[in-house]
Each structure stands twice: as structure tokens, then as C-alpha cells.
Amino acid sequence: MIFIEKKIFLFLLIFFLLFLPPLGQSLGMYYTLHISALIGIYLLLILGLNLILGFVGLLDLGFIAFYACGAYLSALLSIRGWNFCLVLPATIILTVLLRLLLGLPALRLRGDYLAIVTLGFGEIMRLVLNNWDGLTNGPKGLPRVGEAISSPKFFFLTFQSDLSFYYLILFFVILGIIVSRRLDNSRIGRAWIAIREDELAAETCGINVDKVKLFAFCFSAIYAATAGVLYTHWIKFISPESFTFWESVLLVSMVVLGGMGSIPGVILATILVIGVPEFLRGLLGTQLVNYRMLFFGLGLVLMVIFRPQGIVPSKRRELELHPSNE
Amino acid sequence: MFLQVKNLTKHFGGLLALDNLNLTVSQGEIVGLIGPNGAGKTTFFNLLSGVYQPDEGEIIFLHQRIDRILAHRITALGVSRTFQNIRLFAQMTALENVMVGQHCRTRAEVKEALLRTSGFQKEENEIQGKAKELLDFVGLLSKGNELARNLPYGDQRRLEIARALATEPKLLLLDEPTAGMNPVEAKELMSLIKKIREQGVTVLLIEHQMEVVMNISERIIVLNYGEKIAEGKPEEIQQNSLVIDAYLGTE
Ligand SMILES: Nc1ncnc2c1ncn2[C@@H]1O[C@H](COP(=O)(O)OP(=O)(O)O)[C@@H](O)[C@H]1O
Ligand SMILES: [Mg+2]
């Protein structure tokens, strides 16, 4: 019964996701598609951060650095004429390698120290992007005058309009959700959550905690890199100011707000925090929207006091309890 | 020899927590480990399970040195434990706690989890089936879907034992499993420990309730200030004047 209801719900949801934004657009709400696509990019970031922060419990304050890495690498490759189908995997691989280089030393540190190191790494990344003129064109961003980032092409399909980009991003978001969910309910996901709950007990349960942590840390970078690649190819312009420490903090807050480790929770939080103010911009005028961070901050404080487990607290899957059901 | 400990020594700063400990355990025994608070019992378990490394000495388990090996490798070799201050995965269900315990006996990696291969489904079913069996074994099956942190104290202790058994140990280390239990629960636990041994698991048991430890141990080892002061059958230990002094005397 519940199973069927779930199917119907999912069907309706996908129906809305496919048709509502274009409908809004055609009804004269001009930013609907743009905002929906932007939410999609943030969803990828949040799903990735949720793996490492929500599941494994590692406070990563520099996640945005890997989003930046994905964005810049893909811009550099795309400018050199690489096809999107090559740019995406190449960028993911290089970003994950960078993540590995950070993770190897940093994951030896516990709790607050890890937070500080990742924070520092995020700042280093921003400074490098800002100052390595020869490669990144500094604060002026990429591409330079006379260069261009090409639109993604898959054989005969070209992604150019906001609409086609919305669908491309939606595809990756749905893929990201499926991956997160499948990991959650598997031996690997259980090991991640066990580490979050009690590292020592996890180790004595036979889990190679260091290795599993490093893997999760690297795996989450796939999400960040993908988000970066999509952002670059969609907006076709990037500069260091999109990748500030503040963005990392925003991401962490959204995971906390949604509910650590809760996939529906973090999705809802992203839509609330990124989407709602943008949609209300037209209604309320720019003035009020400028106060959104104030509301966000207030909301966060209230949440942590009154509902620390988040909007949609993560719920563990229930199983049939008949002994031996082979 | 099943387990052999030679000259095992551990300092914490200036404190000598374990002083030149020698002992052996044979396969299939239930051995009680007793001693006043701070005697070094838990420290001994921490060394055995790889949580700490000893300063000196050797631990040989099934002809293999395990004193310099990481904790998860020791678990894989067949040593498993519970903790004096219960350490469950609080936000996971009871069933999931036991499923995590099977980590080192199962193989599914990310690829299988993402593709949901038939091998993955089969292993996942086996993990669930075994977890339910173990919960049933410790009498917690009906509470399988409850979060570990919502279970009463006695249930949490038994859940921790089920999780430890899920690693398929040859040697099980129980650190004060009856602490906080009422006499009825403690009695039930004794029969549970006996059942565990009947399945071929060797048990080392730290226990404060003398009634329990005298009843189920075949052999008792007494620690005091990090040193072994006595060893023998329960009847012998009860008569031993050093032991009586350690418990009643100087403190
Ligand atoms: N991690 C540690 N750091 C410092 N001292 C410790 C640590 N673990 C145990 N000790 C000390 O070692 C001694 C033995 O402790 P423990 O093995 O827990 O005793 P028992 O379990 O027999 O009560 C105690 O004095 C305790 O304070
Ligand atoms: Mg102790």
C-alpha cells in the first residue's frame, strides 16, 4: 500500500520537475528556469557534502574549494577545445586526486582540527585562483576576451538554452540522489554512519576507519567536481568570487538545517534557502531579499535550539523482523 | 596455544597500568578477570583488541603476534570485544548495529552497492538474516528496528554482545557485561555467555559481580595495580589471602 503511494508520489514529483519550470517560464516568470537550474547545482554540492558531513560526520569547511577546482579545470579544458564528454571525466579525476592529496594528511586530524585545515585549504584555493594570473586570469575570471567555453555536445544534442541546461542538471541531480540512497543502504554506507556515531567502536567492528574515511572524502569530491563542470558550461563565466569561504559555510548550514545525513532533509533545505528568496524577489522587491541572510541566520539559530536534528531528521530504514526469511 | 601473553607492560605517563603480565588462555575456556577498580583490566582488553599498543611484551593469538596490528585487523583475525561504557552506534537501529558488525566478513564495495548486482542483493539478504539470528539469540529481535540509543541499559549491553558476535570472533572479550543490570538480567546473561561458549567461542570476562564470575568461569585471573596476583579455579581464588587483601584490605 505505502509502496504504491510512494510510486505515485515519485511519479508526480518527476512530472512536476520536468514540466513546471518551463511552464513558469512561458507564463512570464522569466527566472524560473534559471533559478531551478541554480538550485540543481547547489543540490549536487549539498548531496556531496552530505555524504562526508552528514554520513561520515567530518566537518569539512572547505568543500567549495573542490567546486572551484571542478569549475576552473573544466573551463581551462573547455577553452582548449575539449569536448564536454571528455572534460567531465577528466575534471572529476583530477579533482578527486586533489581531494586525495588533501585527505591523506588532513584526515589524520580529528574534529575541530580537520575543520580548520579544510577551511584553510578553501582559502588557499581562492587565493591561488585570485593570484595565478597566467592560468586563471585572476579576479577577472575565465574565459579571457577572445576565448570561449563551448556548450556541451552529446553526438547530435547540444545544450545551450536554459531549458536544456535545466534538464541536464536535473539528470545529474537525480543520478546523485540515487547514488546517495544506494550507498546509504549498503555495507559501505553503514560503515560511514558507524564511523560518525563512534569511530573506535567502528574500528573494533573490523572497519578500516582511515581507509573508509579517505574513500568517502574523495567520493564526495565527485559531486563537487560535477557541479563545477555544469556551472562553468552553463554560465560560461567563472571568477574567484563565486567560491568564497562564505559559500562553504552556507553549504554546511544547509546540511545542518536539513538534517545531517537525511537526503530529503538536505534537498528541502537547499530549495528553501536558495530557491525561495529568489522566487520571492519578484514579489517582495530586491530590498527585502537583501535581508534574506538575516532570515537565514535567524532560522538557523532557531533550528539549532528547537529542532537540532534538522527539518527532516534522518530516519533509518526499518526492516521485516521475521527470523530467517531466506 | 590459543592466546599467550608475555611480559605485557603499559604505562600512561608515570602510571604503570599493566606490569609485566603473563598469562595463557586455551580454546573453549571461560576465563574471569577480576580486580579492584584501576587494576588494569580494561587496559588489558584495550591492548588485546589493538585499541592501544603495549610498551613492552607480546600478545600471541593463534601463533601470530597481534600486539602491533591495527584494531580492525585484529577483529578480522577473530578477537572481538564489548566496552565497559557501552559504545553502540546510537543513531542506528539495533539491527543495523549488528549488520555493521559483519563488515569484515562481507565484501560488497561501492560498485556493487551502486549497481545493485545480484551478488550484492544476496549478500545483503545474508547480512540481514544473520543480524536477525543474532538479535534473536540475545533476545532482542522484536526491538530490531529501534534506535540503539532508545533501548534500555540491559538491552544495550546485550546488543553490544550481538554486534561483537557478528564479527565471528574466536575470542570474545566482555568488559563488565552485567554492569547496571539487575540480578535477574545478570542471571540471564550468564546463561547467554554459556550458550556463546557452547558455540565454540572462547570468552574472557571482566566482571565485578562475584556471584556471576564465580559461577561461570572455569578459571579466574586476579589483577591488582597492574600485576597478576592470583590465578586458579573459583574455589581457590575465594580462599586466596592475597585476593582477599586486595579486595578488603588496604583500600
Ligand atoms: N587512556 C588512559 N590514559 C591515562 N590513564 C589511563 C588510561 N586508561 C587507563 N588509565 C589508567 O590506568 C589504570 C588502569 O585502568 P583500567 O585498565 O581502566 O582499570 P580497570 O578496568 O581494572 O578498572 C587506572 O589508573 C586508569 O586511570
Ligand atoms: Mg575497567
> Which CATH number does the domain housing residue B180 bear?
3.40.50.300
pLDDT value at position A253? 92
Return the closest-CA partner of residue A261 out of A66, A10, A57: A57
pTM score of the predicted model: 0.93
Instruction: Indicate whether B152 and B178 sit together in one domain.
Output: no
Return the closest-CA partner of residue B242 out of B230, B233, B234, B225: B230
Instruction: Indicate whether B51 and B3 sit together in one domain.
Output: yes
The answer to whether the beta carbons of residues A112 and A43 sit under 8 Å apart is no
Compute how many other C-beta atoms are within 10 angstroms of the C-beta atom of residue B180: 14
For a pLDDT cut of 70, what percent of chain A falls above it?
94
Q: How do residues A56-92 score in pLDDT, each as one tens digit?
A: 999 999 999 999 999 999 999 999 989 999 999 999 9
In a domain, B64, yes or no: yes
The answer to whether the beta carbons of residues B82 and B157 sit under 8 Å apart is yes
**pLDDT category, A316, cuts 50, 70, 90?**
confident
Distance from CA of B199 to the nearest CA of A (A): 19
Instruction: Indicate whether B8 and B125 sit together in one domain.
Output: no
Portion 218-237 of A in contact with B at CB < 8 A: 219
Last residue of a domain, one of B136, B168, B200: B168
- Does pLDDT of A41 surpass 90? yes
The answer to whether the beta carbons of residues A280 and A289 sit under 8 Å apart is yes
Instruction: Indicate whether B114 and B129 sit together in one domain.
Output: yes
- Are B109 and A188 a contacting pair at CB < 8 A? yes
In a domain, B242, yes or no: yes
Instruction: Indicate whether B164 and B174 sit together in one domain.
Output: no
Last residue of a domain, one of B152, B168, B184: B168
- Are B103 and A322 a contacting pair at CB < 8 A? no
In a domain, B222, yes or no: yes
Instruction: Indicate whether B152 and B174 sit together in one domain.
Output: no
The mean per-residue pLDDT over the stretch A90-117 comes to 95
In a domain, B36, yes or no: yes
Mean pLDDT of chain B: 95
In a domain, B211, yes or no: yes
Q: How do residues A189-202 score in pLDDT, each as one tens digit?
A: 999 999 999 999 99
pLDDT value at position A325? 45
Q: How do residues B146-157 score in pLDDT, each as one tens digit?
A: 999 999 999 999
In a domain, B141, yes or no: yes
pLDDT value at position A18? 81
In a domain, B83, yes or no: no
| Chain B interface includes A193 (CB < 8 A) | yes
Instruction: Indicate whether B103 and B213 sit together in one domain.
Output: no
- Enclosing H/E stretch for B220: strand B219-224
Q: How do residues B59-106 score in pLDDT, each as one tens digit?
A: 999 999 999 999 999 999 999 999 999 999 999 999 999 999 999 999
Q: How do residues A55-65 score in pLDDT, each as one tens digit?
A: 999 999 999 99
The answer to whether the beta carbons of residues B147 and B91 sit under 8 Å apart is yes
Return the closest-CA partner of residue A34 out of A43, A22, A45: A22
pLDDT value at position B226? 95
Dihedral over alpha carbons A180, A183, A185, A191 (to 10 degrees): -120
CA quadruple B243, B244, B247, B251: dihedral sign: negative
Portion 194-233 of B in contact with A at CB < 8 A: none
Partners of B30 in the β-ladder:
B203
> Would you give the DSSP letter of residue A144?
P
Residue numbers of the domain that contains B32: 1-78+169-251
- Are A186 and B144 a contacting pair at CB < 8 A? no
Instruction: Indicate whether B174 and B202 sit together in one domain.
Output: yes
Higher pLDDT, A29 or A219: A219
List Cα–Cα distances, A148 to A141, A145, A157, A168, B62, in angstroms.
Answer: 12, 8, 19, 20, 66
Instruction: Indicate whether B36 and B74 sit together in one domain.
Output: yes
Return the closest-CA partner of residue A88 out of A218, A257, A228: A228
**pLDDT category, B251, cuts 50, 70, 90?**
very low
Instruction: Indicate whether B158 and B177 sit together in one domain.
Output: no
- Does pLDDT of A275 surpass 90? no
List Cα–Cα distances, B13 to A286, B10, B51, B52, B78, in angstroms.
Answer: 62, 10, 17, 14, 31
> Would you give the DSSP letter of residue A259?
-
> Would you give the DSSP letter of residue B89?
-
In a domain, B199, yes or no: yes
B213-234 CB burial, b ≥16 within 10 A, e <16: bbebbebbbbbbbbebbbbeeb
At A267, list the grid cell: 534537498
Portion 66-125 of B in contact with A at CB < 8 A: 70-72, 75-76, 80-81, 83, 87-93, 95-96, 99-101, 103-106, 108-110, 112-114, 116, 120, 123-125
| Lowest-confidence pick of A57-71, A235-249, A279-293, B220-234 | A279-293
Instruction: Indicate whether B74 and B2 sit together in one domain.
Output: yes
| Chain B interface includes A199 (CB < 8 A) | no
Backbone angles phi, psi at A138, to 5 degrees: 55, -145
The answer to whether the beta carbons of residues A232 and A102 sit under 8 Å apart is no
Last residue of a domain, one of B146, B168, B190: B168
- Enclosing H/E stretch for B12: strand B3-12
Question: Cβ contacts of residue B68 below 8 Å, gap of 6+?
Answer: B53
- Give, using CA atoms, the residue closest to atom 7 of ligand 1: B12
Number of folded domains that form chain B: 2
ipTM > 0.90 for the complex: yes
Instruction: Indicate whether B50 and B116 sit together in one domain.
Output: no
**Residues flanking ligand 1, CB < 6 Å:** B 12, 15, 17, 35, 37-43
Distance from CA of B194 to the nearest CA of A (A): 22
- Does pLDDT of A296 surpass 60? yes
